[in-house]
Each structure stands twice: as structure tokens, then as C-alpha cells.
Chain A
Amino acid sequence: MSKSNWARSVQKVLMAGAMTAAMGSSAFAAEAVKMGCVLPLSGGSAAVGNQTKVGVEIAAKQINDAGGIKSLDGAMLEVVFADSQSKPDVGVTETERVIARENVSVLCGAFNSAVTFPATEVAERMKTPWVVVGSVKDEITERDFKYIFRINNKATYDAREQIDAMDMLKDEFGSGPKTLAMLYEGSDWGRSHAANVKVIAAERGYEIVVDEAAPPNQTDFGNQLLKIRAAKPDAVIVALYTPDHLLFTRQMMEQRLDLPFGVHSVGGGMEDPAFYKALPPEAAFYAFVQEDWQIDILKVSTDPAILSADEATKAALGYGMSAYTAQGISAVYVIADALERAKSADREALRAALAETDIQSGPALVTGYNRIKFDEQGQNTFAHGVISQNIGGERKTMWPKENRAADSTPVWPVPAWSDR
């Protein structure tokens, strides 16, 4: 008796399940839209690639949970990830595979400029739109390509912004640096950044008094600090990865090297959460950091999608959103926006829609931009980094002024070590 009851109830549950499934499948009858995502998921840049991957997954899930692409009858977004291993040839091969075999409508990626540069050429040739994530090499959007769109900064923007921030503070407070020191790691990123800074600094009337490339993974910055001390610059522009940035910052604190207008880091070490765990907080006080997203966006944003994305990132990675996660989220929302307007997963239609992109609100702007709109080369001309100053251990956005929170006031010039 009880057994048959039990069997009957099981039957009921199963029936109900089948019915929901049937209803579900009719509601989601529209074919899923496939997007490819080429990222460095192993090798040297794996940590960064994984953060971006988490961002892409979170955004895709949010969009799907909210009913998918509405203009396509609620079509789901399906992301196909591919591992570039940070190698150009592997990235190109994977791009070929994802386009030809997985038949994706659109691609995004691939963080390393060395991969993005040749891989986007494949996408252009195969007439598949590609939304660039994280790569800053200028030439990527200087090739008259029709299918390549970049949301984030070009390398030259990063340099310009650092000088812009100094100019802004100069206007705001009536004083600012005249002489600059540059200390950068001697590989691709550091060197190209330094070269860009040199050009823009010269245009704006700053004098570079120290120009020092450091080989990666140094054991002592004493020599470089001595050079800086001797040249007495007003401020120093730093482009170092985490280990070198840590050592440099620590030694600078130990030597109590005073720079009236502070340290201006272009990210690298100073945007890595690990950096702040390894140092006494006062070592990085008053330092300016240029980042590819707004570090305090969660304080100024009320967008529920952004807030829940941060929660989801914590659940997936154990720490909150980073610039890399944010860029992944942004790319998916830009693609979803284009899909809505294209009303089609067709590559040509999607390309046309991406070219018409003009986003002025929503989670696509999680990186802190005010607008996303591509020029004829596919570059988002509204892209910018965000420069924060470390006030009492908290990085507060200072530049651009529009992104400042109400309680953020820059400290300019920065106090000497003896006055802190």
C-alpha cells in the first residue's frame, strides 16, 4: 500500500519534472548563440586568463538567467573557451578551430597582445567579429580591420592618462611636478609604456631626469633608488610587475626617499591584490595607481548586476572582482547588446551591430567607462583607465574627476615620510 503510494508520488514527481522540462524547452526553443573566448588558461598568464574567464562566465550566466537574448526569442549565450597558452601559434590555431569547428558567431580575448595580434587577423580573414579583451598593443586597432573591436585602452592611452592626472592635480591645487623619473621593467610592457610616456611628457613640458629600465626579478633596487635620490625628481613613474614592485616599494619606504608628488604606478604590481598583502600598508600610502578598471566601482555603482557579479567572483575565486574579471564581464555585455540590436547571430549582422555600439549605461561599463563607442578602426575612443590614490590603505579614484566618489579628495603634494 505504502509502496504503491510511494511509487505513485514518484511517478507524479517525474511527470511534473518532464512537464517542466518540456515547458522549459519550448520556452528556450531559440538556438543558443555561440561565442568563442580565447584566453591564456595555462602558462605564464594563466592567473589573469582565469580571472577573465570567471568574468565571462558570470556575465553569460547573468544574461541567461535574465532570459537570454530577448530579440532572439530568449536565445541562450553559450561560451566556448579556448586556451592560447600565451603562445601566438597556439592562439591562432585555437581561433581557427573555434571559428571553423565550433562555428561561433563572435569571439573575444585574448589578453596577451602577442596572441591577439595574429589571432585577430584570422578572425578578420574569416569575417568573424572579435571583441578584444585586455590587449593594449596599439597596432591591433590600427590595421583598417572591419571585424575587430577593442573596448579597453590602447597602450598610448595609459601613458597619456598618467600625465593627464598630473595635469589635473596641477590645475586643482596650483602645483605639480616638473621633473619626472621613470623606472620600468625591461620587457614588452614596461618598455613600450616608457617610450609612450617620454613622448607625451615632452609635449606637456615635463622633464625626464631618470630613465631606468630594470631587468625583471631584481634582488636589490638600491642602485636605482640612489640614482633617483641623486636626480631629485618631483615624481616617479613606475611600471613593474608584482615581485619587483614589492621590493622597490619596500626599499623606498626603508630609505625614506621623499618625492614631493609621489609614486605614479601604471598598475602591474600595484593592481595585484597580492601586493597589498605582502607589504605594511603605509608603504604604499599616497601612491597613485593607474588601472584598467575602477577599483572603487562597488562604492559608486548601484547596478545590481555589478554588485552580484562581485559576489559571484568571490564565490568562484575567493576574492572580489579585479580588472581582469571586470573586462571579461564587460566584453560579454557588449556582445549581448550587439546581439539584441542585430536580432541575429549571423556574423555579418553582428559585426554591423557592434560597429553601431553606443553603450552609456549598464553593466558593460563595469570597468568605469562612461561610454562604449567604437571608431572606424574598432577602438573604443571612450576607453580610459582609472587612477586612484592610496589614502589610508584604501585606493580611492581621483582621475577622471567624474568617477570620484563624494568623499575622495586627493592629497597633493604628498607628505614627506617624516610627516606621515
Chain B
Amino acid sequence: MKTTIAAKSTRSGGLRLNQTTVLVTILLVLALAPIVVTDSFTLHSMIMVLFFAYMATSWNFVCGYVGQLSLGHAMFNGMGGYVSVLMFTQLGLSPWLGMLFGGVLAMVTAVLIGLPTFRLKGPYFTLTMIAFAEIVRIWIENTNEFAGIPLKGAEGLIVPNRGDDFWAFQFSTKLPYYYIILSFLAVALVATAWMERSKLGFCLKAIRGDRDAAEALGVNPTFYTSLAFAISAFMTAIGGSFYAQFFRYINPERSMGLELSIDMAVMSIIGGQGTVLGPLLGAAILTPIAEIARGEFGGGLLGLHLVVYGLALMLCVLYFPKGAIEPIRKLCLRYFGGNER
């Protein structure tokens, strides 16, 4: 095991320094961007990009590194949203605290799903996640009230307007939301970068590379994968709370639906799964493409913008099978320290 870790760390040694610089640069640029961007629509779009980047990064935390495909992460998003909103409307608890409860609930659920399914090889984890997420969604859609909690079924939950109130997680301008999601993203990226270099990261990559070999070396695949999965679920739930507070409305169809799960996975995969910056890149490519396509073609021929989006996806898969991060990484390696985009 020692030799594997040593070999990996030397191989990524040169890149690592580079990656930190790139990461800090990107975050700095994003933090300063609102000085230039004052237009509310652009800011809104940037918030959406950061939100999806955050969600894809959370997804990538387990799925990218261990090579297990989860198509049910939206369930954790929904849990975070529902718990924080319900605690706010029912108990008057600040969403800042409520989202932590949502995160813990998601974590517990993740462990309960992970422990049995990660013991199995093959597609069982993917199937279980789809099934479980769909069950939760359908249950919520059909439950108006559960143990005195008004879940409101498919109607969705409304977050009452409190005006500008930090503790209520409500702001009249978009700027605070921008910095909140940016800091979430920063934490998620730093956590991923840290994880990549920690024992957890090496174990995950070992499991991805060859599960049997890893197990033979004493790595417990179920334990490490479940641990990463729980952290990933926690992060996703926090993102769900942000979505709920930002739009002040959530419904099971969108917040827990398969489509959101797929979005998270696709952005990671297109950007480059199993890398720190890949999901961010994926979101930064795909969200604007979707938005521009919608703006240009959405009102005209029905569905044309989705075709354009689909074509963009196909091109990415054809030309960057390892993710769009790969060619950029090569460029960076060649002229180290070169600009990241």
C-alpha cells in the first residue's frame, strides 16, 4: 500500500502545486467578478452556474473518485431543502441551522444506503439510488401531512418572505446569494482537493482502479466509499437548502427528480470526473450553453434548444472522453502556470 501511495503522490506532485494556484486564481476571479458584473440577469446566471458547479462537485466527491454512478443525488438535495424550509416555517429555526439538520439527515440516509449496496459489485448502487430517490420523491408527492408535518405533497413548499434578513437567509439583492454559493463552492472544492491528497482519497482511487486489489491490500471498500458518500450527501443537502432559499419555493418534482440527478452527473462527467476542477468546468460550460440555447432558440422551433444542448453534450463526449478538463490540464502542464481557461 505504501508503494502505491508514494507512486501516486509523486506522479501528481507537479500538478498539485499547479492545481492549488489555479484553484485560488479561479476563486479570486469569481470573488471579484461582481465588481464588473452589475447586471442582475448576468449575476443570476452566474449564481446558477455556481450552484450547479457546487452540486456537481458534491456529486464528484464520491462518484467521481470511486467510480460509482449515482443517479439519485437529487434526493439529498430535496432532503436539505425540505428539512431547512420545514424547520423554518414550523419551528422558526434559521435556515442556516436547518440546513445542517438536513445535511445530517442526508448523511444518515446515505450511510443506510451505502453500507449494504457498496458491498456489492456491479450496477447495484446505481439501481438502488434511482429506486430509493424515486420512492422518496413519490412518497413526498403523495403525502400532505406526515406525523403532523405539513409536507404539502406535490404542491411544494413556499418559504414566507421576510425581506432582508440574514438569519432568515433572505436578501433583497442577488449579491449576498452570489457570495454565499461562492463560499459553499470554495469549501467544496477545497474539501475535494484535501480529500484527493488524504488517505480517504487514495483509498477511493485504489478502489476505483481495482477493487479486489485494494481489498487485498487491506482497504475496506464499503467503509471508505460509504464515508465519502455520506460527506457527498451532506454537501448536496446544503446545496438543496440554498436552492430552496434562493427561489423561496421547492417542489418534489424538480428538487428530487431524476432530471436534477442526471444534471449533476452529466456536468461532472463532461467536465472531468475524479478531478477537483472538472465539475466546476462542466457547470461553467453546460449551464451557459443551455441558457444561450434557450435564449436563442427556446421561443422558436419547439425543443430546438434541447437539441443544441444535446449536440454540445455529444461533442464533449466525442472529443473529451475524459472530460473537458483533460486538454486544459495538458496545456497547463506544458506551459505551467498558464491561464486555466
| Interface, chain A (partner B; CB < 8 A) | 37, 41-42, 46, 50, 80-83, 87-90, 92-94, 96-97, 99-101, 113-114, 117-118, 121, 125-126, 137, 139, 143, 186-189, 191-192, 195, 213, 215
A173 to B280, CA, bound (A): 69
Q: Which residues of B contact A126 (CB under 8 A)?
A: 40
B140 to A: closest C-beta gap in Å: 11
List of 10 A-B pairs having minimum Cβ-Cβ separation, nearest first? A81-B299, A188-B154, A100-B41, A83-B298, A187-B154, A118-B249, A96-B41, A186-B142, A96-B44, A118-B247
Nearest CB to that of B302 among chain A residues? A41
A161 to B144, CA, bound (A): 24
Query: Is the CB–CB distance between B158 and A117 below 8 Å?
Result: yes
A241 to B165, CA, bound (A): 42
A317 to B: closest C-beta gap in Å: 12
Chain B 250-267 interface mask (CB, 8 Å, partner A; 1/0)? 110110000100000000
Nearest CB to that of A121 among chain B residues? B248
Query: Is the CB–CB distance between B142 and A100 below 8 Å?
Result: no
Query: Is the CB–CB distance between A114 and B158 below 8 Å?
Result: no
B171 to A: closest C-beta gap in Å: 11
Q: Which residues of B contact A90 (CB under 8 A)?
A: 294
Given A89-B254, A100-B39, A213-B142, are A118 and B306 neighbors across the interface (CB < 8 Å)?
Answer: no
B181 to A: closest C-beta gap in Å: 13
Nearest CB to that of A87 among chain B residues? B254
A189 to B153, CA, bound (A): 10
Query: Is the CB–CB distance between B251 and A114 below 8 Å?
Result: yes
A-B contact pairs, 26 of them (CB 8 A): A41-B298, A46-B303, A82-B294, A82-B295, A82-B298, A83-B298, A83-B299, A88-B247, A88-B249, A90-B294, A92-B247, A93-B44, A94-B294, A97-B41, A113-B155, A114-B251, A117-B158, A118-B249, A137-B155, A186-B153, A187-B141, A188-B251, A189-B154, A191-B144, A191-B153, A195-B144
Q: Which residues of A contact B247 (CB under 8 A)?
A: 88-89, 92, 118
Query: Is the CB–CB distance between A42 and B158 below 8 Å?
Result: no
| Interface, chain B (partner A; CB < 8 A) | 39-41, 44-45, 48, 141-142, 144, 153-156, 158, 161, 172, 243, 247-251, 253-254, 259, 291, 294-295, 298-300, 302-303, 305-306
Nearest CB to that of A49 among chain B residues? B302
A148 to B: closest C-beta gap in Å: 14
Query: Is the CB–CB distance between A114 and B299 below 8 Å?
Result: no
- Looking at chain B's contact residues, the main secondary structure is helix
Contact of A94 among B249, B250, B298 (CB under 8 A): B298
Nearest CB to that of B51 among chain A residues? A89
Q: Given A88-B254, A101-B295, A191-B154, list of 15 further CB < 8 A pairs? A: A42-B302, A89-B247, A93-B48, A96-B44, A96-B45, A97-B41, A99-B41, A137-B155, A186-B141, A186-B153, A187-B153, A188-B153, A188-B251, A189-B154, A215-B142
Q: Which residues of B contact A80 (CB under 8 A)?
A: 299
Given A80-B299, A114-B253, are A89 and B243 neighbors across the interface (CB < 8 Å)?
Answer: yes
Given A121-B248, A191-B144, are A42 and B306 neighbors across the interface (CB < 8 Å)?
Answer: yes
Q: Which residues of A contact B251 (CB under 8 A)?
A: 88, 114, 188
A216 to B: closest C-beta gap in Å: 10
A154 to B: closest C-beta gap in Å: 14
Given A118-B247, A192-B155, are A41 and B44 neighbors across the interface (CB < 8 Å)?
Answer: no
Given A94-B298, A100-B39, are A42 and B141 neighbors across the interface (CB < 8 Å)?
Answer: no
A213 to B306, CA, bound (A): 35
Interface centre among A89, A99, A117, A137 (most CB of B within 10 A): A89
Query: Is the CB–CB distance between B154 and A97 below 8 Å?
Result: no
- Looking at chain A's contact residues, the main secondary structure is helix
Contact of A83 among B48, B156, B249, B305 (CB under 8 A): B305
Q: Which residues of A contact B172 (CB under 8 A)?
A: 125
Nearest CB to that of B305 among chain A residues? A83
A114 to B155, CA, bound (A): 8
A125 to B172, CA, bound (A): 9
A176 to B: closest C-beta gap in Å: 30
Query: Is the CB–CB distance between B155 and A191 below 8 Å?
Result: yes
Q: Which residues of B contact A93 (CB under 8 A)?
A: 44-45, 48, 291
Interface centre among A50, A100, A126 (most CB of B within 10 A): A100
A87 to B291, CA, bound (A): 13
Nearest CB to that of B174 among chain A residues? A96
Given A89-B243, A89-B254, are A83 and B39 neighbors across the interface (CB < 8 Å)?
Answer: no
B217 to A: closest C-beta gap in Å: 44
Q: Which residues of B contact A187 (CB under 8 A)?
A: 141-142, 153-154
A46 to B298, CA, bound (A): 12
B248 to A: closest C-beta gap in Å: 7
A189 to B141, CA, bound (A): 11
A90 to B290, CA, bound (A): 10
A122 to B: closest C-beta gap in Å: 9
A88 to B48, CA, bound (A): 13
A196 to B: closest C-beta gap in Å: 12
A192 to B48, CA, bound (A): 31
Query: Is the CB–CB distance between B294 and A83 below 8 Å?
Result: yes
Interface centre among B40, B155, B295, B303 (most CB of A within 10 A): B155
B128 to A: closest C-beta gap in Å: 22
A82 to B296, CA, bound (A): 9
A87 to B40, CA, bound (A): 20
B333 to A: closest C-beta gap in Å: 36
B297 to A: closest C-beta gap in Å: 9
Query: Is the CB–CB distance between A114 and B254 below 8 Å?
Result: yes
A118 to B247, CA, bound (A): 6
Query: Is the CB–CB distance between A139 and B158 below 8 Å?
Result: yes
Interface centre among B44, B45, B249, B303 (most CB of A within 10 A): B249
A213 to B39, CA, bound (A): 47
B246 to A: closest C-beta gap in Å: 8
Contact of B48 among A89, A188, A195 (CB under 8 A): A89
Query: Is the CB–CB distance between B303 and A42 below 8 Å?
Result: yes
Query: Is the CB–CB distance between A82 and B299 below 8 Å?
Result: yes
A46 to B141, CA, bound (A): 21
A189 to B172, CA, bound (A): 31
A41 to B302, CA, bound (A): 6
Query: Is the CB–CB distance between B155 and A188 below 8 Å?
Result: yes
A94 to B44, CA, bound (A): 10
Query: Is the CB–CB distance between A46 and B41 below 8 Å?
Result: no
Query: Is the CB–CB distance between A97 and B295 below 8 Å?
Result: yes
B29 to A: closest C-beta gap in Å: 22
A118 to B249, CA, bound (A): 6
A188 to B254, CA, bound (A): 13
Q: Which residues of A contact B253 (CB under 8 A)?
A: 114
